[in-house]
């Protein structure tokens, strides 16, 4: 007689997708919100001279502008109302994750469960709005100074106010989209929105590569090598993002009328890359800041007589040896820093001890914490080196043959990770549908 698992695998087919009404509603809801979001990336800020903005961004599509535009779906180079995208909310989330380690009150709220997490999320939104207003004001001042104010029709307090409020409102709308996708759609809302912006640039990036090949900028052999290299990077990302170190754990044995219940083997999975895509995003944004400030503020006099700041900006350009070295160091630092925030070995060991759970061969309490910390440290070393390889090798390739920024390691990390998460959620919904069908069939 076939087991339930065999029957489930036998019935699991594409036809089950057509029967999953809730899954289809979630997918269509996500698609509709993303379409509205894409329309918003083309709505310019009030008072902006779109022709001058296009001319300026075509000459300055590097530095941190390129990094931020990567996550805004092209809206920042168009100076659209969604230019800030979800970035202020992500920044606010990271700040509160840091504060929960430092501020005892926030740590208590985090441990309160769902109610405490809702309160932290509310504070996070307030901080995100504050960040959006500050960044919007800074963008307004920069737009008034660039090319003598040619990018705006009329400088002044009204332009600054409308720019600041428009960008903040755009951030609020994108935040709402992300929350709705997470609760009523498919995938993590913030990741799906960033993913959509990156994928939107896919056709133009592919076209750019083939144009380079047709113009002789890169040879056809080099183009084939680039394609094979990208495929290899994607396979590497898939392998490392799925790889885990399963630590065996033992739960307290349950006693029944006939003796102790037999327990199935249990494991504590620790990912090799616990920090995700945060380290390369932070590292690239930090290192590209000098070059970006210089590009915004430089004048012909400064260009003829480079200052110390200009020299530093040149040394930190894409592909420069100093940039590559500092990029690797920053990725490793942020990998350890963010992993320490996301996973606390001492807290995990205390929870194990309170529940009677233990790791075979390891004494509960401090010994368990030391063991978990040692395992996590070794995993983070491997994970940080993996992130360095994935992000730096495309960076070198980009600087040598003019590979589009979209095809960098950070973009590939986000695409592969988000795609994997979406596929996993769809599979979970389909499995849930299959189990519900089997349960109803068994009842009859």
- Provide φ and ψ at 248, rounded to 5°: -65, 135
- For 21-25, 28-32, 74-78, 372-376, which range has the lowest pLDDT when averaged over its residues? 74-78
**Residue 68's pLDDT is what?**
62
**Residue 4's pLDDT is what?**
43
Per-residue H/E/C for 328-357: HHHHHHHHHHHHHHHCCHHHHHHHHHHHCC
**Residue 35's pLDDT is what?**
92
Q: Could you say which DSSP state residue 257 is in?
A: T
| Judgement on whether residues 126 and 251 belong to the same structural domain of the protein | no
- For 115-129, 154-168, 192-206, 328-342, which range has the lowest pLDDT when averaged over its residues? 192-206
| Judgement on whether residues 126 and 246 belong to the same structural domain of the protein | no
In this structure, the number of other CB atoms found within 10 A of the CB of residue 232 comes to 11
Q: Is residue 2 part of a domain?
A: no
Is the pLDDT at 442 greater than 60? The verdict is: no
Asked which of 200, 216, 242 is the last residue of a domain, the reply is 200
Is the pLDDT at 434 greater than 80? The verdict is: no
Is the pLDDT at 399 greater than 80? The verdict is: no
Is the pLDDT at 155 greater than 80? The verdict is: yes
What is the domain count for the chain?
2
Q: Is residue 418 part of a domain?
A: no
| Judgement on whether residues 177 and 265 belong to the same structural domain of the protein | no
Higher-pLDDT residue of 232, 284: 232
| Judgement on whether residues 166 and 276 belong to the same structural domain of the protein | no
Tell me if 162 sits within 8 A of 139, measured CB to CB.
no
Is the pLDDT at 304 greater than 50? The verdict is: no
Q: How confident is the model at residue 383 (pLDDT cuts 50, 70, 90)?
A: very high
- Listed ranges 225-229, 312-316, 343-347, 367-371; the one with the highest mean pLDDT: 367-371
Mean pLDDT computed over 335-347: 85
Is the pLDDT at 11 greater than 50? The verdict is: no
Q: Is residue 31 part of a domain?
A: yes
| Judgement on whether residues 249 and 176 belong to the same structural domain of the protein | no
Is the pLDDT at 440 greater than 50? The verdict is: yes
| Judgement on whether residues 179 and 259 belong to the same structural domain of the protein | no
| Judgement on whether residues 162 and 262 belong to the same structural domain of the protein | no
Tell me if 26 sits within 8 A of 186, measured CB to CB.
yes
Is the pLDDT at 8 greater than 50? The verdict is: no
Q: Which residues contact 309 (CB under 8 A, 6 or more apart)?
A: 290, 293, 294
Is the pLDDT at 250 greater than 50? The verdict is: yes
Quote the mean pLDDT of the chain: 78
pLDDT, tens only, 47-98: 888 888 877 776 655 555 666 666 677 787 788 888 888 888 877 887 887 7
Percentage with pLDDT > 70 across the chain: 77
| Judgement on whether residues 253 and 128 belong to the same structural domain of the protein | no
**Residue 161's pLDDT is what?**
92
Give CA–CA dist 327/215, Å, rounded.
32
Q: How confident is the model at residue 12 (pLDDT cuts 50, 70, 90)?
A: very low
Q: Is residue 371 part of a domain?
A: yes
Is the pLDDT at 319 greater than 70? The verdict is: no
> Which residue in 200, 183, 181, 202 sits closest to 192, CA to CA?
181
Percentage with pLDDT > 90 across the chain: 14
Q: Is residue 213 part of a domain?
A: no
Q: Is 437 exposed, middle or buried (0-12, 13-18, 19+ CB in 10 A)?
A: middle
- Give the domain CATH number at 99: 1.10.3370.10
Is the pLDDT at 144 greater than 70? The verdict is: yes
- For 276-280, 294-298, 393-397, which range has the lowest pLDDT when averaged over its residues? 294-298
Give CA–CA dist 69/84, Å, rounded.
9
pLDDT, tens only, 94-108: 788 778 778 888 878
Specify the DSSP element, H or E, that contains 105: helix 104-111
Q: Is residue 25 part of a domain?
A: yes
Bridge partners, residue 267, by sequence:
248
Structural domain boundaries enclosing 319: 232-407
**Residue 143's pLDDT is what?**
83
- Listed ranges 35-49, 147-161, 319-333; the one with the highest mean pLDDT: 35-49
Q: What pTM was computed for the model?
A: 0.77
Give CA–CA dist 292/295, Å, rounded.
5
- Listed ranges 54-58, 356-360, 383-387; the one with the highest mean pLDDT: 383-387
Asked which of 183, 200, 217 is the last residue of a domain, the reply is 200
Q: Is residue 377 part of a domain?
A: yes
- Listed ranges 84-98, 183-197, 329-343, 369-383; the one with the highest mean pLDDT: 369-383
pLDDT, tens only, 179-201: 899 888 888 888 888 888 888 87
| Judgement on whether residues 49 and 180 belong to the same structural domain of the protein | yes
Give CA–CA dist 276/386, Å, rounded.
11
Mean pLDDT computed over 367-383: 92
**Residue 441's pLDDT is what?**
59
| Judgement on whether residues 56 and 163 belong to the same structural domain of the protein | yes
**Residue 375's pLDDT is what?**
92
| Judgement on whether residues 34 and 138 belong to the same structural domain of the protein | yes
Is the pLDDT at 379 greater than 90? The verdict is: yes
Q: Is residue 82 part of a domain?
A: yes
Q: Give ∠ CA 159-164-166 in degrees, rounded to 5.
A: 95
**Residue 31's pLDDT is what?**
92
Give CA–CA dist 127/91, Å, rounded.
9
| Judgement on whether residues 240 and 185 belong to the same structural domain of the protein | no
């Amino acid at each position: 007689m076939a087991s339930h698992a065999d029957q489930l695998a036998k019935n699991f087919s594409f036809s089950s997708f057509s029967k999953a009404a809730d899954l289809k509603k979630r997918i269509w809801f996500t698609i509709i919100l993303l379409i509205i979001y894409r329309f918003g990336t083309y709505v310019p800020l009030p008072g902006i001279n779109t022709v001058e903005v296009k001319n300026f961004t075509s000459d300055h599509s590097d530095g941190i502008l390129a990094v931020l535009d990567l996550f805004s779906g092209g809206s920042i180079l168009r100076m659209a109302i969604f230019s800030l995208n979800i970035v202020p909310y992500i920044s606010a989330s990271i700040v509160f994750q840091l504060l929960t380690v430092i501020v005892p009150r926030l740590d208590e709220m985090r441990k309160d469960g769902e109610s405490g997490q809702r309160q932290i999320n509310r504070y996070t939104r307030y901080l995100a709005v504050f960040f959006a207003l500050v960044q919007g004001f800074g963008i307004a001042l920069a737009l008034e100074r660039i090319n003598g104010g040619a990018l705006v029709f009329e400088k002044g307090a009204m332009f600054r106010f409308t720019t600041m409020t428009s960008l903040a409102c755009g951030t609020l709308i994108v935040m709402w989209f992300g929350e709705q996708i997470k609760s009523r759609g498919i995938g993590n809302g913030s990741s799906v929105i960033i993913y959509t912006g990156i994928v939107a640039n896919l056709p133009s990036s592919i076209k750019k590569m083939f144009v380079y090949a047709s113009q002789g900028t890169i040879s056809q052999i080099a183009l084939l090598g680039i394609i094979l290299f990208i495929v290899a990077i994607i396979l590497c990302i898939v392998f490392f993002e799925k790889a885990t170190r399963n630590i065996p754990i033992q739960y307290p044995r349950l006693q029944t009328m006939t003796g102790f219940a037999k327990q199935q083997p249990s494991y504590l999975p620790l990912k090799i890359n616990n920090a995700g895509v945060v380290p390369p995003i932070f590292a690239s944004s930090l290192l590209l800041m000098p070059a970006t400030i210089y590009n915004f503020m430089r004048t012909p006099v400064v260009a003829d007589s480079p200052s110390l700041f200009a020299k530093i900006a040149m040394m930190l350009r894409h592909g420069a040896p100093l940039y590559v070295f500092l990029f690797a160091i920053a990725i490793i630092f942020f990998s350890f820093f963010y992993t320490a925030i996301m996973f606390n070995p001492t807290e995990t060991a205390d929870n194990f001890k309170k529940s009677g759970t233990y790791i075979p061969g390891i004494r509960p309490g401090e010994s368990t914490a030391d063991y978990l910390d040692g395992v996590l440290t070794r995993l983070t070393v491997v994970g940080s080196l993996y992130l360095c390889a994935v992000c730096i090798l495309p960076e070198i390739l980009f600087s040598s043959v003019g590979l589009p920024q979209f095809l960098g390691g950070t973009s590939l990390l986000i695409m592969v990770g988000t795609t994997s998460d979406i596929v996993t959620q769809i599979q979970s919904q389909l499995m849930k549908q299959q189990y519900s069908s089997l349960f109803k069939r068994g009842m009859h």
